[in-house]
């Protein structure tokens, strides 16, 4: 079985906030880059999006900020396709620094296509790739409510 690639990045000075650590907006930016990488891995890369007009729209997100991340830290984000349907994709991202979990993001995304963009079933090849990659890891934090 293949897995989604790990997204890696080094934290740069522009992403550091007034408290001296990674600003919350840049956690989301990094998770967004990891989502882009998932799209590449399932067959919705830039070329496919341009050719077909297909894309993913995030309709819900839940971020947990667990640890501060410092300037220069190297982050690794692992992505998991939790579940999928004909038109939806439930993703989970885990951000780590030196193996320690520092943040998570859970997303509900919808597949869209056409002009104007509207929800549509995934193309057959994309749906097949999603099926190959779905449910490969159980994550105990997925589905948590804010409380």
Residue 1 resides in a domain: no
State the average pLDDT for the chain.
93
Residue 2 resides in a domain: no
Which pLDDT tens digit goes with each residue over 65-89? 999 999 999 999 999 999 999 999 9
For residues 29 and 11, give the distance between their C-alpha atoms in angstroms, rounded to a whole number: 11
Residue 138 resides in a domain: no
**Using 50, 70 and 90 to split pLDDT, how confident is the model at 51?**
confident
Domain with 80, as residue range(s), is: 7-133
The CATH number for 84's domain is 3.10.129.10
- Counting the structural domains of the chain, the total is 1
The whole-model pTM stands at: 0.92
Which pLDDT tens digit goes with each residue over 106-144? 999 999 998 888 999 999 999 999 999 987 777 888 988
Residue 145 resides in a domain: no
């Amino acid at each position: 079985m293949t897995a989604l690639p790990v997204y890696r990045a080094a934290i740069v000075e522009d992403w550091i906030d007034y408290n001296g650590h990674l600003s919350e907006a840049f956690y989301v930016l990094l998770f967004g880059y990891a989502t882009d990488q998932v799209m590449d891995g399932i067959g919705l890369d830039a070329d496919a999006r341009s050719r077909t007009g297909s894309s993913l729209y995030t309709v819900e997100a839940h971020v947990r900020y667990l640890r501060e991340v410092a300037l220069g830290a190297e982050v690794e984000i692992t992505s998991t396709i939790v579940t999928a349907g004909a038109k939806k994709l439930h993703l989970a991202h885990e951000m780590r620094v030196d193996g320690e979990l520092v943040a998570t993001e859970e997303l509900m995304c919808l597949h869209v296509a056409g002009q104007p963009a509207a929800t549509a079933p995934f193309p057959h090849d994309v749906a097949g790739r999603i099926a190959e990659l779905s449910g490969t890891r159980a994550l105990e934090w997925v589905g948590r409510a804010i409380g």
